[in-house]
Structure 1
Amino acid sequence: MSFPESRAIPNRLNLLLLAGAAVAAGVLLHAASHAPAWWQTLLAMVAFSFVNNTIFSLLHESVHGIFHSNRTANEWGGRVAAAFFPTALTFQRIFHLRHHRNNRTEVEQFDYLRPEDNKFLKYTQWYCILTGLYWTASPLGMIMYLVWPGAFQLKALRSDNSRFAQQTAADAMLEGFDKAPSGKIRVEILFTLAVQAALFILSDATWQGWLLCYATFAVNWSSLQYADHAWSELDPKEGAWNLKVNKVVQWLFLNYHHHKAHHQHPDVPWVHLHKHVDFTEPRPSFLRIYLSMWRGPRPMPEKPET
């Protein structure tokens, strides 16, 4: 497979980043588990939350087939990256590609309140995103699928008459599993569990250290997952922001904040995304959007905000 220069995949760089970030994550897990002072534990937790976001960004590249130009390397790189989330590559790919399909359509307008919405459910989902509880849906859903794939067909999650299924996008997302390779996904989940066990043992982590690091990562990761869409245009490709953010953070997230450019050009590797950003368009800061989100979902405007 060949790519034009403007879309060339940085194969070696991605492999080096994955290896380096994986080692760093293990070192930081160890530090958070055994640091003699609380502030050292805190530093390790925060650092882990950023390093693991680098790994997640590499998983994101693999999901789109642009982590490595060799398909086998792309898939295995994605499986390793997924294990640090933790999730499974195919599991994440199904969810993420459904997101690209449904972005800013009625099933993915979590920032707006419609008259028919259940307000309690809307606010609960919203603040789960902001507090990091949203992250738990992936590892818990992964375990559920491993034990009982049929759970993804439950009426509460799939029925047209289920307010939960329709308002939370559960039905729209889980539809992607109807014809999914169940055996392959479950093997990948077992691989993820094996990698997590190895990470825990090799880093000499404690349960307290692991939970603190992943809780901090969950908040950091979740904070961006809807900040790059909130209040944006209601269009699958245009409905995202190219957010302004500190350059160091931007690089640690591998240009993930150039999210509108990504939705417009999902096959462009992270190193080239800036070439597709229109810097004359409004580019709100991440902090501005994130802080505005804490005020809660807004009533659906007659003319959606842009």
Structure 2
Amino acid sequence: MSALLIGCGAVALLLQLAVVPLWLLPAGSAWGWLLVPLALLSTPHWSLIHEAIHGTLLRDRRWNDRCGRPLAVGYGVPFALLKTGHLLHHRYSRTARERTEVYDPAATTWAATAPGYYVRLFGGLYLAEVATVVLAVAPRAFWQRLARRMESPDSVTGILLDRVGGRLLRQFRVDAAAVVAVHAASLLAYGRHAWMLGAAIAARAVMISVADNAYHYGTELDAPLEAMNLRLPRVLETFVLAFNLHAVHHRHPGLRWHHLRAAFRADGDRFHLGWFTAVARQVRGPVPDERSGTGPPHR
């Protein structure tokens, strides 16, 4: 099954980046509408990369990175950054270092926090990941200085830069060069239709960023295993590779996606919210740390 999914992901990338601009658009601009369903595949594509990150995409764990890297290049972000960042998420989720929507009302205000929060929510997260490719040309010493500068008890950025800029820097540079080369070549192939690829990437940025923290928004703090299972029709659950069973995944990060539903039943788990409800409620904005006595109760 995994080989089939990897093949489907590769075909979707090939269609978006090469087939549409080189063969279909010259036959008619209406073929550009094919980018709409291709853009909607961003979520299952991330789910494939997510499986590779956890070593559950293929039985041979060495091949998870080997497949994850080209999938991440097509996604637009070096695999080393995605893998390191996601594993840090599992370690620090809902702690002071990684609680996206929560702010300390003793140190700042909702109005001061909101602009950055909404930028991140509506595409900024993905675009920030993409922007890291510019660091590929930076010397190792610059990474180390930047990591020290960014180190903070309320962020994982310093740790992330330190780890990627260490033993993973060569891999990051190779993959960043591939990201730039592949997408630059694709933009050239689109020519006067380059705005179509730009729109597809913008749609990916919004979908990925909006969904990212929906599973954790308003959940218990200082509890790295805390996450929500979000209800989806079974066909959509399969489409996103059971990513909606997020609480199950945080408790059992080594399980393959198609085993999560069985674990959901075995654990006597429940759905906390509908997926669309959870995504929409993030528009409420930043949430004050209720432990200060000023914030509303979670969930």
- The TM-score, its normalising length taken from structure 1, stands at 0.81
The answer to whether 1:104 aligns with 2:102 is no
Which residue of structure 1 aligns with residue 243 of structure 2?
A: 256
The answer to whether 1:299 aligns with 2:288 is yes
1:32–1:138 CA distance, 2 compared to 1 (3 A): farther
Which residue of structure 1 aligns with residue 122 of structure 2?
A: 131
Match of 2:5 among 14, 30, 33: 14
Q: Following TM superposition, by how much is the alpha carbon of 1:266 offset from its aligned partner in structure 2, in angstroms?
A: 1.1
Match of 2:48 among 52, 55, 58: 58
Conservation of the 8 A alpha-carbon contact between 1:65 and 1:74: yes
Q: Per-residue displacement from partner, 1:249-300 (whole Å, max 9, x unpaired)?
A: 3333211111111111111111111122256434201221222211111222
Distance in 1 (alpha carbons) for counterparts of 2:252 and 2:163: 22
Match of 1:222 among 192, 206, 209: 209
Distance in 1 (alpha carbons) for counterparts of 2:27 and 2:88: 40
Which residue of structure 2 aligns with residue 84 of structure 1?
A: 74
1:126–1:33 CA distance, 2 compared to 1 (3 A): farther
Q: Following TM superposition, by how much is the alpha carbon of 1:48 offset from its aligned partner in structure 2, in angstroms?
A: 2.5
Conservation of the 8 A alpha-carbon contact between 1:243 and 1:283: yes
The answer to whether 1:212 aligns with 2:181 is no
Gaps of 5+ in 2: none
Distance in 2 (alpha carbons) for counterparts of 1:247 and 1:23: 28
1:32–1:167 CA distance, 2 compared to 1 (3 A): farther
Q: Following TM superposition, by how much is the alpha carbon of 1:24 offset from its aligned partner in structure 2, in angstroms?
A: 4.3
RMSD (CA atoms): 3.1
Conservation of the 8 A alpha-carbon contact between 2:230 and 2:245: yes
Distance in 1 (alpha carbons) for counterparts of 2:280 and 2:193: 33
> What SS does structure 2 have at the residue aligned with 1:65?
coil
The answer to whether 1:240 aligns with 2:227 is yes
Q: Following TM superposition, by how much is the alpha carbon of 1:176 offset from its aligned partner in structure 2, in angstroms?
A: 2.8
Which residue of structure 1 aligns with residue 64 of structure 2?
A: 74
Q: Following TM superposition, by how much is the alpha carbon of 1:67 offset from its aligned partner in structure 2, in angstroms?
A: 1.5
The answer to whether 1:170 aligns with 2:157 is yes
Conservation of the 8 A alpha-carbon contact between 1:166 and 1:172: no
Distance in 2 (alpha carbons) for counterparts of 1:245 and 1:150: 46
The answer to whether 1:142 aligns with 2:123 is no
Worse-matched range after superposition: 136-145 or 296-305: 296-305
Which residue of structure 2 aligns with residue 286 of structure 1?
A: 275
User: What amino acid is the match of 1:296?
Assistant: G
1:287–1:149 CA distance, 2 compared to 1 (3 A): farther
User: What amino acid is the match of 2:244?
Assistant: H
The answer to whether 1:188 aligns with 2:178 is no
Distance in 2 (alpha carbons) for counterparts of 1:194 and 1:71: 28
- The TM-score, its normalising length taken from structure 2, stands at 0.82
Q: Per-residue displacement from partner, 1:117-151 (whole Å, max 9, x unpaired)?
A: 43355323311222112211111112223444544
Q: Following TM superposition, by how much is the alpha carbon of 1:248 offset from its aligned partner in structure 2, in angstroms?
A: 4.0
Conservation of the 8 A alpha-carbon contact between 2:164 and 2:172: no
Distance in 2 (alpha carbons) for counterparts of 1:35 and 1:154: 50
1:113–1:91 CA distance, 2 compared to 1 (3 A): closer
1:290–1:71 CA distance, 2 compared to 1 (3 A): closer
Distance in 1 (alpha carbons) for counterparts of 2:80 and 2:36: 28
| Identity %, equivalent residues | 23
User: What amino acid is the match of 1:295?
Assistant: R
Conservation of the 8 A alpha-carbon contact between 1:89 and 1:188: yes
- How many residues align? The count is 290
